[in-house]
């Protein structure tokens, strides 16, 4: 067995200069062996982030979203293999999937998600609801796509808080809480809440200073025993590398059976 650090982070559509600093920060974090990055800029700025990570020894998989925000999966351990057949019908570039195979260990499946925000007034929640519906329909099929022995994490900025979130935010509707619940219904466990059932922490703060736990990581229920420590890293938010904290999880991958 060996422990692999998995980290998810909203990089706030970084410019090439800030993307270089983000890549340097990630390269210096022991938790950032496998990363899912959300709100990656379209065009050359997003490519700059992928190139900066590659310069630090990461293999990368960046979705193609034209000018829209994208998702990037990167790994500096094992072999990263993009999975292109796991997709959704609406805004498919906001979902990325890959496997990471470390020699001697079982494969890890990684899915990154970036749910749209509520959107402009004239299109309030249209893209968000459509994307959430597409993801909710796909979630139950994901574990079977990789096989029952493969641990899977689904991570990213869901732009949704959990039911019972403290503080309460009246802006969220029942359909948004239902999206969070679809993960449990599909066989996934909230890693942070599993490890810290009573801990109050947030990954994004509004102008008033009110906190939101927007960034999540879920693990397949049958592999819940692989979860180690799980924590939010506030330093990149406080140092203005992004307006989001990162979320890191330690996952213990079993050894492959002897032949």
Task: Please list the pLDDT of the chain residue by residue as tens digits (259 residues).
Answer: 789 999 999 999 999 999 999 999 999 999 999 999 999 999 899 999 999 999 999 999 999 988 899 999 999 999 999 998 777 889 999 999 999 999 888 899 999 999 998 766 666 688 999 999 999 999 999 998 888 889 999 999 999 999 999 999 988 999 999 999 999 999 999 999 999 999 999 999 998 899 999 999 999 999 999 999 999 999 999 999 999 999 999 999 988 765 4
Secondary structure letter of residue 120 according to DSSP? -
| CATH homologous superfamily for the domain 2-253 | Endonuclease/exonuclease/phosphatase (3.60.10.10)
Q: Residue 174 and residue 120: Cα distance in Å, rounded?
A: 20
What pLDDT score was predicted for residue 120? 62
Coil vs helix vs strand at 144: helix
What pLDDT score was predicted for residue 122? 61
What pLDDT score was predicted for residue 65? 82
pTM across the whole model:
0.95
Q: Where are the domains of the chain?
A: 2-253
Coil vs helix vs strand at 1: coil
What pLDDT score was predicted for residue 57? 98
Q: Residue 111 and residue 155: Cα distance in Å, rounded?
A: 6
């Amino acid at each position: 067995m060996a422990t692999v650090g998995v980290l998810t982070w909203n990089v706030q559509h970084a410019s090439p200069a800030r993307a270089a600093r983000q890549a340097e920060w990630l390269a210096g974090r022991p938790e950032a062996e496998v990363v899912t990055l959300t709100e990656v800029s379209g065009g050359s700025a997003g490519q700059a982030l992928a190139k900066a990570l590659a310069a630090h020894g990461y293999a990368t998989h960046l979705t193609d979203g034209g000018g829209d925000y994208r998702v990037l999966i990167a790994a500096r351990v094992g072999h990263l293999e993009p999975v292109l057949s796991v997709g959704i019908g609406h805004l498919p570039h906001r979902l990325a999937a890959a496997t990471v195979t470390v020699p001697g260990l079982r494969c890890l499946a990684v899915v990154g998600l970036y749910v749209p925000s509520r959107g402009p007034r004239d299109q309030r929640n249209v893209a968000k609801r459509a994307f959430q519906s597409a993801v909710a329909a796909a979630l139950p099929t994901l574990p079977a796509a990789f096989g029952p022995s493969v641990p899977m994490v689904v991570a990213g900025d869901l732009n949704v808080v959990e039911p019972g979130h403290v503080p309460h935010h009246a802006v969220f509707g029942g359909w948004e809480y239902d999206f969070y619940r679809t993960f449990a219904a599909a066989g996934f466990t909230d890693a942070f809440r599993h490890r810290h059932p009573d801990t109050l922490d947030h990954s994004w703060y509004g102008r008033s200073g009110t906190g939101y736990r927007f960034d999540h990581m879920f693990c397949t229920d049958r592999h819940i025993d692989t979860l180690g420590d799980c924590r939010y890293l506030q330093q990149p938010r406080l140092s203005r590398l992004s307006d989001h904290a990162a979320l890191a999880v330690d996952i213990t991958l079993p050894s492959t059976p002897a032949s």
